[in-house]
Amino acid sequence: MMERIVEANGIRLWCETFGDSADPALLLVMGLGARGATWPDELCRLLQEGGRYVIRYDNRDTGLSGRVDYEANPYTMVDLAQDAVGLLDGLGIATADVVGASMGGMIAQEIALEHADRLRSLTVIMSSAEPLDPATNTFRGTVRDPRLAAWDAEQIANPPSTREEHVESHLKLARILAGRLTAFDEAATRATIEREIENATDAGHASKNHILAAFASRDRSGLVGSITAPTLVIHGSDDPMAPFAHGKALAAAIPGSEFLPIEGMGHGFPPSVIPRISAAILRHTGR
Protein backbone atom coordinates (compact mmCIF):
# COMPACT_ATOMS: atom_id res chain seq x y z
CA MET A 1 0.00 0.00 0.00
CA MET A 2 1.12 3.53 -0.74
CA GLU A 3 -0.49 6.76 0.47
CA ARG A 4 -0.39 9.97 -1.56
CA ILE A 5 -1.86 13.47 -1.61
CA VAL A 6 -2.98 14.71 -5.03
CA GLU A 7 -4.17 18.22 -5.94
CA ALA A 8 -7.29 17.77 -8.05
CA ASN A 9 -9.98 20.22 -9.13
CA GLY A 10 -8.63 22.72 -6.60
CA ILE A 11 -9.01 20.16 -3.78
CA ARG A 12 -6.40 18.24 -1.82
CA LEU A 13 -7.30 14.53 -2.14
CA TRP A 14 -5.81 11.73 -0.08
CA CYS A 15 -5.53 8.37 -1.80
CA GLU A 16 -4.08 4.94 -1.15
CA THR A 17 -2.95 2.56 -3.88
CA PHE A 18 -2.51 -1.21 -3.95
CA GLY A 19 -0.44 -3.16 -6.46
CA ASP A 20 1.55 -2.39 -9.59
CA SER A 21 0.80 0.89 -11.39
CA ALA A 22 1.49 -0.92 -14.67
CA ASP A 23 -1.66 -3.02 -14.10
CA PRO A 24 -5.13 -1.79 -15.19
CA ALA A 25 -6.30 0.93 -12.79
CA LEU A 26 -9.43 0.33 -10.71
CA LEU A 27 -10.83 3.38 -8.90
CA LEU A 28 -12.99 2.80 -5.81
CA VAL A 29 -15.39 5.66 -5.00
CA MET A 30 -16.92 5.61 -1.51
CA GLY A 31 -20.21 7.08 -0.32
CA LEU A 32 -21.73 9.74 1.86
CA GLY A 33 -19.48 10.93 4.68
CA ALA A 34 -17.31 7.81 4.50
CA ARG A 35 -13.55 7.58 4.12
CA GLY A 36 -11.91 5.66 1.31
CA ALA A 37 -10.68 3.23 3.96
CA THR A 38 -14.29 2.08 4.34
CA TRP A 39 -13.61 -0.06 1.27
CA PRO A 40 -12.70 -3.37 2.95
CA ASP A 41 -9.00 -4.21 2.97
CA GLU A 42 -9.86 -7.76 1.93
CA LEU A 43 -11.72 -6.54 -1.15
CA CYS A 44 -8.76 -4.35 -2.13
CA ARG A 45 -6.38 -7.28 -1.61
CA LEU A 46 -8.43 -9.64 -3.76
CA LEU A 47 -8.72 -7.06 -6.54
CA GLN A 48 -4.97 -6.45 -6.39
CA GLU A 49 -4.28 -10.18 -6.55
CA GLY A 50 -6.55 -10.28 -9.58
CA GLY A 51 -4.10 -8.02 -11.41
CA ARG A 52 -5.61 -4.60 -10.75
CA TYR A 53 -3.94 -1.39 -9.61
CA VAL A 54 -6.45 -0.48 -6.91
CA ILE A 55 -7.03 3.12 -5.80
CA ARG A 56 -9.23 4.18 -2.89
CA TYR A 57 -9.48 7.80 -1.80
CA ASP A 58 -11.17 10.27 0.52
CA ASN A 59 -13.77 12.43 -1.23
CA ARG A 60 -13.56 16.13 -0.47
CA ASP A 61 -14.65 16.90 3.10
CA THR A 62 -13.70 13.43 4.37
CA GLY A 63 -10.67 12.10 6.21
CA LEU A 64 -7.37 13.51 5.02
CA SER A 65 -8.77 15.27 1.95
CA GLY A 66 -9.46 19.00 1.82
CA ARG A 67 -12.50 20.55 3.46
CA VAL A 68 -14.92 22.96 1.81
CA ASP A 69 -17.17 25.71 3.13
CA TYR A 70 -20.32 24.45 1.42
CA GLU A 71 -22.26 27.66 1.90
CA ALA A 72 -19.54 29.66 0.14
CA ASN A 73 -18.66 26.95 -2.40
CA PRO A 74 -21.60 24.57 -2.95
CA TYR A 75 -21.03 21.45 -5.02
CA THR A 76 -22.89 18.48 -6.51
CA MET A 77 -22.16 14.93 -7.64
CA VAL A 78 -20.89 16.37 -10.94
CA ASP A 79 -18.17 18.24 -9.02
CA LEU A 80 -17.28 15.13 -7.03
CA ALA A 81 -16.99 13.25 -10.34
CA GLN A 82 -14.61 15.95 -11.56
CA ASP A 83 -12.57 15.44 -8.37
CA ALA A 84 -12.25 11.74 -9.23
CA VAL A 85 -11.11 12.51 -12.76
CA GLY A 86 -8.64 15.06 -11.39
CA LEU A 87 -7.28 12.38 -9.09
CA LEU A 88 -6.69 10.11 -12.10
CA ASP A 89 -4.94 13.02 -13.81
CA GLY A 90 -2.71 13.53 -10.79
CA LEU A 91 -1.80 9.85 -10.76
CA GLY A 92 -1.06 9.89 -14.50
CA ILE A 93 -3.90 7.48 -15.32
CA ALA A 94 -5.70 7.90 -18.64
CA THR A 95 -8.55 5.43 -18.08
CA ALA A 96 -9.80 3.31 -15.19
CA ASP A 97 -12.44 0.82 -14.26
CA VAL A 98 -14.67 2.78 -11.85
CA VAL A 99 -16.48 1.14 -8.93
CA GLY A 100 -18.82 3.24 -6.76
CA ALA A 101 -20.74 2.31 -3.62
CA SER A 102 -23.81 4.13 -2.29
CA MET A 103 -23.27 7.87 -2.95
CA GLY A 104 -20.05 6.77 -4.61
CA GLY A 105 -22.26 4.95 -7.10
CA MET A 106 -23.96 8.27 -7.84
CA ILE A 107 -20.55 9.87 -8.41
CA ALA A 108 -19.53 6.94 -10.61
CA GLN A 109 -22.64 7.43 -12.75
CA GLU A 110 -21.67 11.07 -13.24
CA ILE A 111 -18.17 10.02 -14.30
CA ALA A 112 -19.76 7.75 -16.91
CA LEU A 113 -22.07 10.55 -18.07
CA GLU A 114 -19.63 13.48 -18.03
CA HIS A 115 -16.26 11.79 -18.62
CA ALA A 116 -17.06 8.71 -20.70
CA ASP A 117 -13.58 8.66 -22.23
CA ARG A 118 -11.96 8.20 -18.80
CA LEU A 119 -13.58 4.95 -17.71
CA ARG A 120 -13.32 1.49 -19.24
CA SER A 121 -16.18 0.06 -17.23
CA LEU A 122 -18.67 1.04 -14.55
CA THR A 123 -19.69 -0.93 -11.44
CA VAL A 124 -22.40 0.48 -9.17
CA ILE A 125 -23.03 -1.09 -5.76
CA MET A 126 -26.05 -0.34 -3.50
CA SER A 127 -26.95 2.94 -5.21
CA SER A 128 -29.61 4.63 -7.34
CA ALA A 129 -30.14 6.96 -10.29
CA GLU A 130 -32.99 8.70 -8.48
CA PRO A 131 -32.47 12.06 -6.75
CA LEU A 132 -32.61 12.48 -2.98
CA ASP A 133 -35.76 14.23 -1.80
CA PRO A 134 -34.99 16.85 0.91
CA ALA A 135 -38.53 16.53 2.25
CA THR A 136 -38.14 12.84 3.08
CA ASN A 137 -34.33 12.46 3.20
CA THR A 138 -34.58 9.44 0.94
CA PHE A 139 -34.67 8.62 -2.76
CA ARG A 140 -37.63 9.88 -4.75
CA GLY A 141 -40.56 7.51 -4.63
CA THR A 142 -39.19 5.66 -1.58
CA VAL A 143 -40.80 5.51 1.85
CA ARG A 144 -38.12 6.15 4.48
CA ASP A 145 -37.38 3.03 6.51
CA PRO A 146 -38.86 3.76 9.98
CA ARG A 147 -35.65 2.67 11.69
CA LEU A 148 -33.66 5.18 9.65
CA ALA A 149 -36.28 7.87 10.28
CA ALA A 150 -35.96 7.25 14.03
CA TRP A 151 -32.16 7.40 13.79
CA ASP A 152 -32.41 10.71 11.87
CA ALA A 153 -34.73 12.16 14.52
CA GLU A 154 -32.34 11.13 17.28
CA GLN A 155 -29.41 12.83 15.51
CA ILE A 156 -31.39 16.06 15.32
CA ALA A 157 -32.63 15.89 18.92
CA ASN A 158 -29.33 14.76 20.43
CA PRO A 159 -26.50 15.34 17.97
CA PRO A 160 -23.32 13.50 18.98
CA SER A 161 -20.56 15.83 20.16
CA THR A 162 -17.76 13.60 21.45
CA ARG A 163 -15.74 11.04 19.53
CA GLU A 164 -17.31 8.17 21.48
CA GLU A 165 -20.81 9.51 20.83
CA HIS A 166 -20.04 9.62 17.10
CA VAL A 167 -18.79 6.03 17.23
CA GLU A 168 -21.91 4.85 19.06
CA SER A 169 -24.17 6.74 16.67
CA HIS A 170 -22.49 5.22 13.61
CA LEU A 171 -22.59 1.79 15.25
CA LYS A 172 -26.34 2.09 15.75
CA LEU A 173 -26.73 3.08 12.08
CA ALA A 174 -24.58 0.15 10.97
CA ARG A 175 -26.87 -2.26 12.83
CA ILE A 176 -29.86 -0.83 10.96
CA LEU A 177 -28.09 -1.10 7.59
CA ALA A 178 -26.86 -4.66 8.09
CA GLY A 179 -28.84 -7.31 6.24
CA ARG A 180 -29.68 -10.81 7.39
CA LEU A 181 -26.90 -12.46 5.39
CA THR A 182 -24.55 -12.71 8.37
CA ALA A 183 -24.67 -11.97 12.08
CA PHE A 184 -23.77 -8.38 12.93
CA ASP A 185 -20.11 -8.21 14.01
CA GLU A 186 -20.06 -5.36 16.51
CA ALA A 187 -16.33 -5.51 17.27
CA ALA A 188 -15.26 -5.44 13.62
CA THR A 189 -17.79 -2.73 12.79
CA ARG A 190 -16.64 -0.58 15.70
CA ALA A 191 -13.02 -0.91 14.54
CA THR A 192 -14.00 0.19 11.01
CA ILE A 193 -15.94 3.19 12.33
CA GLU A 194 -13.07 4.23 14.59
CA ARG A 195 -10.67 4.04 11.64
CA GLU A 196 -13.07 6.12 9.54
CA ILE A 197 -13.25 9.01 11.98
CA GLU A 198 -9.71 8.90 13.40
CA ASN A 199 -8.54 11.75 11.13
CA ALA A 200 -11.76 13.76 11.15
CA THR A 201 -11.62 16.94 13.24
CA ASP A 202 -15.39 17.25 12.87
CA ALA A 203 -16.93 13.82 12.27
CA GLY A 204 -20.24 15.32 11.14
CA HIS A 205 -18.80 17.82 8.65
CA ALA A 206 -18.54 15.45 5.68
CA SER A 207 -21.99 13.96 6.15
CA LYS A 208 -23.64 17.39 6.37
CA ASN A 209 -21.96 18.65 3.21
CA HIS A 210 -22.46 15.44 1.27
CA ILE A 211 -26.17 15.41 2.10
CA LEU A 212 -26.46 19.00 0.85
CA ALA A 213 -24.57 18.02 -2.31
CA ALA A 214 -26.90 15.06 -2.87
CA PHE A 215 -29.99 17.25 -2.42
CA ALA A 216 -28.57 19.75 -4.94
CA SER A 217 -27.67 17.10 -7.51
CA ARG A 218 -29.61 16.32 -10.64
CA ASP A 219 -32.01 13.49 -11.37
CA ARG A 220 -30.03 10.90 -13.37
CA SER A 221 -32.89 8.45 -13.98
CA GLY A 222 -33.55 9.89 -17.44
CA LEU A 223 -29.86 10.24 -18.26
CA VAL A 224 -28.27 6.90 -17.42
CA GLY A 225 -29.73 5.32 -20.56
CA SER A 226 -26.99 7.14 -22.48
CA ILE A 227 -24.19 5.39 -20.56
CA THR A 228 -22.17 3.32 -23.01
CA ALA A 229 -19.55 1.87 -20.66
CA PRO A 230 -19.99 -1.84 -19.81
CA THR A 231 -21.94 -1.70 -16.56
CA LEU A 232 -22.39 -4.05 -13.61
CA VAL A 233 -24.97 -3.24 -10.91
CA ILE A 234 -24.69 -5.05 -7.56
CA HIS A 235 -27.45 -4.69 -4.96
CA GLY A 236 -28.52 -6.42 -1.77
CA SER A 237 -32.08 -7.57 -1.23
CA ASP A 238 -32.11 -6.24 2.36
CA ASP A 239 -30.84 -2.71 1.70
CA PRO A 240 -32.88 -0.23 3.80
CA MET A 241 -30.99 2.86 2.61
CA ALA A 242 -31.26 2.30 -1.16
CA PRO A 243 -34.03 -0.29 -1.48
CA PHE A 244 -33.51 -3.22 -3.84
CA ALA A 245 -35.86 -1.80 -6.48
CA HIS A 246 -33.43 1.07 -7.09
CA GLY A 247 -30.59 -1.23 -8.12
CA LYS A 248 -32.91 -3.24 -10.31
CA ALA A 249 -34.25 -0.07 -11.99
CA LEU A 250 -30.74 1.30 -12.55
CA ALA A 251 -29.62 -1.90 -14.26
CA ALA A 252 -32.75 -1.91 -16.42
CA ALA A 253 -32.14 1.69 -17.49
CA ILE A 254 -28.53 1.21 -18.68
CA PRO A 255 -28.43 -0.66 -22.00
CA GLY A 256 -26.62 -4.00 -21.86
CA SER A 257 -25.87 -3.82 -18.14
CA GLU A 258 -25.54 -6.86 -15.89
CA PHE A 259 -27.48 -7.06 -12.61
CA LEU A 260 -26.10 -9.06 -9.69
CA PRO A 261 -28.60 -9.33 -6.80
CA ILE A 262 -27.22 -10.57 -3.47
CA GLU A 263 -29.81 -12.16 -1.24
CA GLY A 264 -29.68 -10.96 2.36
CA MET A 265 -27.08 -8.22 1.85
CA GLY A 266 -27.90 -4.85 3.37
CA HIS A 267 -26.19 -1.50 2.82
CA GLY A 268 -22.61 -2.57 3.42
CA PHE A 269 -19.99 -5.21 2.76
CA PRO A 270 -20.43 -8.26 5.00
CA PRO A 271 -17.19 -10.30 4.93
CA SER A 272 -18.92 -13.38 3.52
CA VAL A 273 -19.83 -11.62 0.25
CA ILE A 274 -16.47 -9.95 -0.40
CA PRO A 275 -15.06 -12.89 -2.41
CA ARG A 276 -18.22 -12.96 -4.54
CA ILE A 277 -18.16 -9.20 -5.14
CA SER A 278 -14.44 -9.16 -5.97
CA ALA A 279 -14.86 -12.07 -8.38
CA ALA A 280 -17.75 -10.30 -10.10
CA ILE A 281 -15.76 -7.06 -10.44
CA LEU A 282 -12.70 -8.88 -11.80
CA ARG A 283 -14.81 -10.77 -14.30
CA HIS A 284 -16.61 -7.61 -15.36
CA THR A 285 -13.49 -5.46 -15.67
CA GLY A 286 -11.62 -8.22 -17.48
CA ARG A 287 -14.11 -8.53 -20.31
| Catalytic (active-site) positions | 102, 239, 267
Q: In degrees, to the nearest 5, what angle opens at C-alpha 254 toward C-alphas 260 and 78?
A: 105
- Where b means 16+ CB within 10 Å and e means fewer, 193-232 reads beebbeebeebbbbbebbbbbbebbeebbeebeebebbbb
Which residue type occupies 244? Answer: F
- For 131, other C-beta atoms within 10 Å of its C-beta total 19
